[in-house]
Amino acid sequence: MGSGRAPLPPGRVRWVAAQIVASFFTPLVHRWLLRQEAFISRQGRPLTAAETKSARRIGLNDPARVRIQTVDRIPQPGGWLLKVIARFSRVALADPVALTAGHGIYLKAELENDPVVIRHELAHVGQYERLGRRAFLQQYIRDCLAAGYTASPLEVEARRLSAVDAGRHPSLDQKFDRDRLHDGQVVDLDRGGPGA
């Protein structure tokens, strides 16, 4: 005899599983990112005047704290962790072009002067500031696992901010709606992601 409850729809099962996995991985990733941010803050360069202007338009609270460290290859957390996240987020994370750790940004050397990529990473800095480090990481990991990297609301927001004209950035202070329109499809993570 059953419990009388209907089984969870597949999208909801993925959402619940993503929440559990994110709860486990967030502390591990948080510790790793704190070490990366400390390194970047010591070794990285400050924002240029133009990047600082973009950071302010995007809505950063403290652009003076942001540092950019250019590297040939972006460091990543342990291999097993990356494999789990990549598998469930449906994206190949083998060779990212940038990574944001709080107020620190790793950027591939060939993209050091790419304003779109820098604005995208600055948007992530703003998300860290707005949500706090642990809350950002928890949401970012959960959403990438549940909805996929491309449809993750934090990635959608960062892409939107980086794609608009630098003089017309909407502020990150605006209420961020989790039900986000993406490529004509509503991404509603409370209902299991795109198309759920």
User: Which pLDDT does position 188 carry in this prediction?
Assistant: 32
What residue type is assigned to position 186 of the chain? V
- What six digits make up the tokens of 145? 């696992």
* Any domain includes 3: no
Q: What is the pLDDT of residue 65?
A: 97
Contact 172, 123 (CB under 8 A): yes
Q: Which two tokens stand for residue 183?
A: 């490529």
- For residue 102, the model assigns a pLDDT of 95
3-class secondary-structure state, position 67: strand
Q: How many domains does the chain have?
A: 1
Residue 1 forms part of a structural domain: no
Domain membership of residue 56 (yes or no) is yes
Q: Which domain holds residue 53?
A: 10-191
Q: What one-character-per-residue DSSP string does 127-182 give?
A: HHHHH-HHHHHHHHHHHHHHH-TTT-HHHHHHHHHHHS-GGGPPPTTS---SSEEE
Token duo for residue 11: 């999208």
Confidence at residue 105, expressed as pLDDT on a 0 to 100 scale: 97
| 5 within domain boundaries | no
Give, in degrees to the nearest 5, the angle at Cα 149 between 144 and 150. Answer: 140
Residue 176 domain-assigned (yes or no): yes
Instruction: Look at residue 79 in the predicted model and tell me its pLDDT.
Output: 63
At 72 the pLDDT is 93
Tens-level pLDDT at each residue, the chain (196 residues): 455 665 545 566 767 777 777 777 777 788 888 999 999 999 999 999 999 999 998 889 999 999 999 999 888 776 666 666 666 555 555 578 898 999 999 999 999 989 989 999 999 999 999 999 989 988 888 888 777 778 889 999 998 887 763 444 444 333 333 333 333 333 333 333 333 3
Task: Pull the structure tokens for residue 159.
Answer: 């892409």
